Amino acid sequence: MNNQTKELMLVVACLAIATLVYWSANQIPSSLLAKTSAGLVPKIVAISLILLAILHLILVFSANRTSNTQTSNSETSTSAIDDRTERNDGRIRIALLVSFMIIFVLCLELGLTEFWLLALSFVFLSVLAMSGISSRSILIAASIAVVSVGATIVFFTKIFTVILP
């Protein structure tokens, strides 16, 4: 199975999940005291996932078009080595993300630290694991961590009045 087929399967899976989430959000009954609909956040997540899937689809087709115009005449053994190295790097990154998630859940369950500090660490380390370590990626990971955790805390504590751990 080639990469384009895998990417298209990923887009189809994302669109199916987003459709299911949006449909399920419509099934959530509204509260009489709520300022907003109870399904607002799942609908926002579903729409975001749909937009990201469409963007990914566009990138897959544009990358395919550029790869077709750049034909390579010789296949060398270095490309096979690069493919294996890339696969091993992907496996290491997935293992890191799974271990970060396990540590995050365990620390939440045991109450070892505050939620915001744990969430900042988790998001920062996860983004850093996915992008590799460089001065630029550290700055980007820190920015994503601060903005996403800050927005989550404000959104859930001020708008939905959820008590975070």
* Structural domain that includes position 48: 1-28+37-66
**Whole-structure pTM over 0.75, yes or no?**
no
Instruction: Give the pLDDT score at 146.
Output: 93
CA distances from 129 to 93, 122, 132, 137 (A): 6, 10, 6, 10
Least reliable range by pLDDT among 11-25, 48-62, 148-162: 148-162
- The tally of CA atoms less than 13 A away on the side-chain side of residue 17 is 12
The reply to whether 43 and 109 lie within a common domain is: no
Structural domains counted in the chain? 2
In-domain check, residue 118: yes
Region 132-137: mean pLDDT is 87
Instruction: Give the pLDDT score at 49.
Output: 87
Give the integer Cα–Cα distance in Å for 44 and 26.
Answer: 12
In this predicted structure, the answer to whether residue 15 has a pLDDT above a threshold of 80 is yes
The reply to whether 51 and 108 lie within a common domain is: no
Instruction: Give the pLDDT score at 74.
Output: 46
Instruction: Give the pLDDT score at 73.
Output: 46
Region 45-53: mean pLDDT is 87
In-domain check, residue 8: yes
